Each structure stands twice: as C-alpha cells, then as structure tokens.
C-alpha cells in the first residue's frame, strides 16, 4: 500500500492474539504496519473493490455545535469516512471546515442520526453546492521535474480528451531503455492513487486518457517519493497548457403535470436551459421528458408543487456531466487560483549550483532534461479531409443562400453588352408593411402584472394581453398576430380567429408557439418586415437568422407605455383651455 508494508498478521481471541504467516479465505485477522488503508482496498495481488456507479453531485459543509471541541469532533466524524469511503469527506485546512458529498436529503438525515448516536453530536449541514468536474479539449504533453538537492525525477505525460462519461484512463507507452519497468509501474500507481483536481476551479478531472511517454531517474539520488512529485507536477502542467472546460451534472427528468400548466412548465424548462421532447398526453395530464442542469433544477420540485397545487410530480435521475453553460460565472464565484494551491503545484523544481529553484509551468519547457515526445502532425489525408470539408461547407452556404434569396443566375459576357432597346427606368418598389408576431404565454410570464394574474386566472391574463395588443395595433397600424399554445383541446388541428383589430392563433396539438412563429416568419418574410416579440433567447436567435427583427418582452412593454403616454399627452393638449365658473352664463346674459 504505497510506501507502507504489512509487518504482522494477527489473529485475535479476546485481548490475546497469535502471529500468523498465512491466512485463508474466510479467516478474520488484523494486519499491522499500514497507515493509510480504507474499506475496499486490496492487499497484495488483490485489486481494489469496484467503484460505485452512482457518484454524488452535491458537496455539503458540516456545521458543528458551537460548544464542542472542534478538533476532536472532526477526528471522530472522519472515522465514518474510513468505514465508508463513498462519503468523500474532505478537511480543508485553510477554512478548517469538513465537507461531505451526498446524493440528496435522505443521506443527510441518515448521517446526522448516525453522528448523533455514535458521537453525541448534533450537527447541521449547509445548503450545499454543485460538484462540477473539469476536462480538456485538446491533446497536450505535460512535463514534471522534481530535483531538489539529492533528489531527481522527470516525467512526461500525454493528456488526451476522452469520450464523455469515460472517466480517467491510464496507460504506459514508454520504452524500458529510457526508464526501468519498476519506475513505470510506480508512476502509474501515483496516477491512480489520488483524485486529481483541475486548474479552472479546483474540481476533479474526468474524461481524459493519461499516458506515460517518458521518464528519467538518477541511479543514486532518485527515491520513490521523487516520482510522485514529478508525476503530479506533470499532470498539473499539462492541464495548465491545455484548453480546459468545466462540466456540470445534468438531470434526466420526467415531469408529469396537468395539461393546463403546460405553457408554464415549458417556459420554466427553457429558462433553466433545459432540453425536452414534445410532450405525451396521458389522460388529463401531460408528460414532459428531457434534461436540464442540476444547478437550476435541484429545487424545481417545490415550484412544481406550488403552481400545480400538489398535482404535479417531478422525477429526476442523474444523467451525467455535460459542458457547463455559465462556466465564467462559476469560475468567478469559486475564485480558485491554481498558482496559489500549494498542495497541487503547477510548476517544477530544478537544481542549480547545489540548490533547488522553482520554475513556473509555462517556463518548464526551457529547463526540461528530456525532449518533447509528442509531435502533432497533420497528415495528407487530414489535409484532404479539411479541403473537402471546406468544399462541402461552400455547397451548404450556397444552398442556404438559394433557399433565402432564390436561385443565383450565372452571367456571361453577352449579358453585359449594350442592348439596342430603349432604356426604361424601373418602377420604385413599394415599401413592405409591418407585421408583429407576439409569443403570448412568453409575454404573460415576463410581465409582472400579467404573471400575477395568470396564477389564479390564466384566461383573464390572456384576454388582458389581447386588449393591450389591440391598443398597440391601433397605435402602430401594423398586422399584429398573437400566438398561443393550444394545450386544452386534444387532437386539435389549430385555430385562428379575429379579435377586434388583431389576429389570434392557437397552435395545433404537439406544436409549440416557437415552432409556429418560426414557420410563419419564413413564409411571410418576403411580404412583410417581420418583428417577433419574445424573451426566449433560442427563439430570438432563430428568427434573427430568418431575417426578422427581435423585440424582447421588456422592450414591447416600454414601447406600449411610451405610446400610451404620448397619446394621452396629445389628447390633453387638444382640449380647449376654458373655465366654467358658477353663474358665469347669467353674468354673460346681463352683459348682452
């Protein structure tokens, strides 16, 4: 087990024991000499126990009672981690906090009760934070060198991106002429013995293949611990060199709610940057399946219970890790500095004039003793592939322009020759009319007064929006269409109706307002200047690509309020400035 050895095997009988040389399957014994061993570790030729398939995605800080001995309490609680390594307890020396990783509230309650029964401590847990992970996006070679006085080791590792969800893979591709076999096995042991963290925010790394390319030892000065230092530094230096990416856990969810709340659920899922498939109807309920980030959906069950009045159910399963959508925000919030992490250094130690000195990660290549082993080369087949892909890209672009602007005409030399016919100036083209498409339920949930009304009376909020849009159409004199998701009528083919001076569209079954707006925008773009009012970022991107203008819910509200003020001001200014006093008509009659 690392640098420790078993020096005795004992069989106990009460307080007495006998020393044995051999034990067999089924025997109960104790081993002496090991200091860092935990449940699941294999001794001798035995492999370690298989890691559990389910991994926790939340990290909680244990809040100890104020009147307890903090050092003693932490020592007692850490005994539970030795009994069950899946707890992943970590003691942070800088903050003197003890954190533990859980899957949910049930595990928290079980651990609280266990601590209270065994150690008589009433502990609490904070709100917890998401456990992110890190990976790399390109292949790099990491270099680690450890050479204080009378120590020596250098390691070169190849870091390659791996398939999502594959975890960490370690291998050796090093000649024994360069480094002896027992040193190679030791380096591989050091790679597997700990949980390595990334350089973006200090979270565990995953989905990488790490290969030992080269190494160098000294016949007199190299010790086992030297390669541990060189290996860790090579891995960290490679991470600093590569382009890294933050990964966050995702839920695979199944949302079962009454059909009346479909629009609200879709709006919430899109706000959480989730993805879903078209809902399936089961009687009076709608079932939506998809995926969403754990960070945004972990407390959504409470919201579902609230807006469905207890009729909705949310089932979540951990799907895996995918690229983090707000990576910069998370990194800024964590404020991790890899250069200041003394437990995980990114640089190397070299020796000069009998003394060791520290070299930063970006300068190690100027001091290394072994040349680079990995030389990325671009083959001729790859160059041909790049060229052919560029041609395919040109064909795709040409097809897009053809769909958008029509077939392009190939002109010849004769097309530019003068024509004998009399030149007739072309008529001035007529300006296009304005058309405004409004995503009804998106606007309702974006305007506070309509959102509050929709909680108790969704139909009332819908007609209130239609009345406001009627006023807006009267101001703008444009073609105005309000689109709603028709979720109430089963097997509905879609309806369109006239409401005063605007058009109202209810989409057909299994068709969202986004899909309808996208289709209509493409069809009417040649006849109208299209504008779409919505706060859905994805929908804004799609309609912008179709040549339409986008207007957010906030901009629509501000424009409507501005027009109301202008019309009210114009009306007030046109009223006669006369005064009508008491008995004024009698006084005017006498004067006549």
Same domain, 308 and 215: no
Section 529-548 average pLDDT: 79
Q: Of 114, 131, 148, which residue constitutes the final position of a domain? A: 131
Give the pLDDT confidence score for residue 207 in this predicted structure.
94
Residue 342 in this model has a pLDDT that exceeds 60: yes
Predicted TM-score of the model (pTM): 0.57
Give the pLDDT confidence score for residue 393 in this predicted structure.
59
Lowest mean pLDDT among 23-27, 414-418, 450-454, 507-511: 414-418
Same domain, 234 and 300: no
User: Is position 325 within any domain?
Assistant: yes
Residue 6 in this model has a pLDDT that exceeds 50: yes
Strand partners for 98 = 91
The phi and psi torsions of 24 (rounded to 5 degrees) equal -120, 170
Same domain, 515 and 561: yes
Same domain, 284 and 209: no
pLDDT per position as a tens digit, 486-532: 755 566 677 889 999 999 998 887 677 888 888 888 888 888 888 99
DSSP code of 428?
P
User: Is position 588 within any domain?
Assistant: no
Q: Which domain holds residue 502?
A: 433-570
Same domain, 117 and 28: no
pLDDT per position as a tens digit, 109-164: 888 888 888 888 888 888 788 889 999 999 999 999 999 988 999 999 999 999 99
Structure-block tokens of residue 278: 């078209």
Contact 517, 435 (CB under 8 A): no
Same domain, 252 and 298: yes
Question: Shortest CA distance to 531 belongs to which of 431, 473, 561, 540?
Answer: 540
Question: How many domains is the chain partitioned into structurally?
Answer: 5
Q: Of 83, 111, 131, which residue constitutes the final position of a domain? A: 131
For residue 196, what pLDDT band results from cuts at 50, 70 and 90? very high
Same domain, 139 and 201: yes
Same domain, 227 and 354: yes
Give the pLDDT confidence score for residue 179 in this predicted structure.
92
Same domain, 271 and 147: no
Quote the CA–CA distance of 77 and 118 in Å, as a whole number: 9
Lowest mean pLDDT among 184-188, 238-242, 278-282, 480-484: 278-282
Q: Of 84, 115, 131, which residue constitutes the final position of a domain? A: 131
What CATH number does residue 227 fall under? 3.30.230.10
Same domain, 108 and 31: no
What CATH number does residue 299 fall under? 3.30.70.240
Strand partners for 339 = none
Quote the CA–CA distance of 283 and 408 in Å, as a whole number: 52
Same domain, 252 and 218: no
User: Is position 124 within any domain?
Assistant: yes
For residue 241, what pLDDT band results from cuts at 50, 70 and 90? very high
pLDDT per position as a tens digit, 258-293: 988 888 888 899 889 899 886 667 678 889 999 999
User: Is position 580 within any domain?
Assistant: no
Contact 159, 144 (CB under 8 A): no
Percent with pLDDT over 70 in the chain? 80
User: Is position 104 within any domain?
Assistant: yes
Instruction: Calculate the alpha carbon distances from 281 to 60, 262, 309 in Å.
Output: 39, 11, 20
Residue 373 in this model has a pLDDT that exceeds 60: yes
Same domain, 125 and 257: no
Give the pLDDT confidence score for residue 266 in this predicted structure.
87
């Amino acid at each position: 087990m690392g640098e420790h050895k078993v020096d005795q095997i004992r069989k106990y009988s009460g307080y007495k024991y006998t020393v044995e040389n051999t034990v067999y399957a089924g025997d109960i014994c104790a081993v002496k000499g090991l200091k860092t061993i935990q449940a699941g570790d294999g001794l001798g030729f035995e492999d370690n126990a298989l890691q559990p398939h389910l991994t926790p995605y939340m990290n909680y800080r244990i809040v100890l009672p104020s009147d307890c001995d903090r050092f003693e309490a932490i020592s007692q609680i850490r005994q539970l981690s030795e009994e069950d390594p899946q707890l992943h307890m970590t003691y942070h020396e800088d903050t003197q906090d003890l954190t533990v990783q859980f899957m949910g509230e049930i595990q928290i309650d079980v651990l609280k009760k266990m601590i209270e029964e065994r150690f008589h401590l009433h502990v609490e847990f904070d709100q917890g934070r998401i456990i992110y992970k890190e990976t790399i996006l390109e292949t790099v070679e990491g270099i680690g060198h450890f050479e204080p006085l009378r120590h020596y080791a250098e390691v070169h590792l190849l870091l390659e991106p791996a398939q999502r969800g594959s975890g960490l893979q370690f291998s050796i591709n090093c000649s024994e002429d360069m480094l002896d076999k027992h040193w190679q096995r030791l380096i591989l042991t050091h790679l597997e013995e700990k949980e390595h963290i990334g350089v973006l925010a200090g979270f565990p790394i995953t989905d990488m293949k790490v290969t030992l390319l080269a190494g160098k030892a000294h016949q007199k000065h190299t010790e086992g611990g030297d390669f541990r230092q060189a290996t860790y530094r090579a891995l960290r230096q490679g991470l600093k060199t590569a382009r890294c990416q933050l990964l966050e856990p995702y839920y695979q969810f199944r949302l079962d709610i009454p059909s009346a709340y479909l629009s609200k659920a879709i709006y919430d899922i899109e706000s959480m940057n989730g993805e879903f498939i078209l809902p399936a109807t089961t009687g009076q309920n709608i079932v939506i399946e998809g995926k969403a980030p754990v960070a945004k959906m972990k407390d959504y069950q409470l919201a579902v219970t609230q807006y469905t009045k207890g009729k909705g159910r949310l089932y979540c399963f951990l799907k895996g890790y995918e690229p983090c959508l707000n990576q910069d925000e998370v990194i800024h919030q964590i404020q991790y500095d890899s250069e200041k992490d003394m437990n995980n250094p990114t640089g190397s130690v070299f020796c000069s004039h009998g003394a060791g000195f520290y070299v930063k990660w970006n300068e190690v290549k100027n001091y290394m003793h072994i040349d680079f082993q990995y030389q990325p080369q671009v083959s001729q087949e790859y160059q041909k592939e790049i060229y052919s892909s560029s041609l395919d890209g040109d064909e795709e672009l040409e097809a897009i322009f053809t769909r958008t602007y029509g077939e392009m005409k190939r002109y010849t030399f004769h097309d530019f020759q003068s024509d004998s016919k009399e030149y007739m100036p072309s008529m001035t083209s007529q300006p296009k009319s304005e058309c405004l498409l409004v995503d009804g339920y998106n606007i309702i949930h974006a305007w506070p007064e309509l959102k509050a009304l929709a909680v108790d009376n969704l139909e009332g909020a819908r007609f209130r929006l239609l009345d406001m849009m009627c006023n807006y159409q009267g101001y703008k004199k444009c073609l105005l269409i309000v689109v709603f998701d028709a979720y109430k009528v089963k097997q509905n083919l879609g309806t369109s109706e006239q409401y005063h001076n605007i058009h109202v569209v209810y989409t057909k079954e299994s068709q969202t307002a986004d899909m309808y707006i996208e289709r209509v925008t493409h069809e009417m773009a040649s006849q109208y200047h299209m504008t779409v009012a919505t706060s859905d970022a994805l929908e804004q991107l799609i309609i912008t690509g179709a040549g339409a203008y986008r207007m957010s819910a906030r901009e629509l509200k501000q424009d409507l309020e501005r027009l109301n003020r202008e019309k009210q001001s114009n009306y007030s200014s046109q009223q006669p400035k006369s005064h009508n006093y008491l008995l004024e008509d009698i006084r005017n009659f006498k004067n006549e």
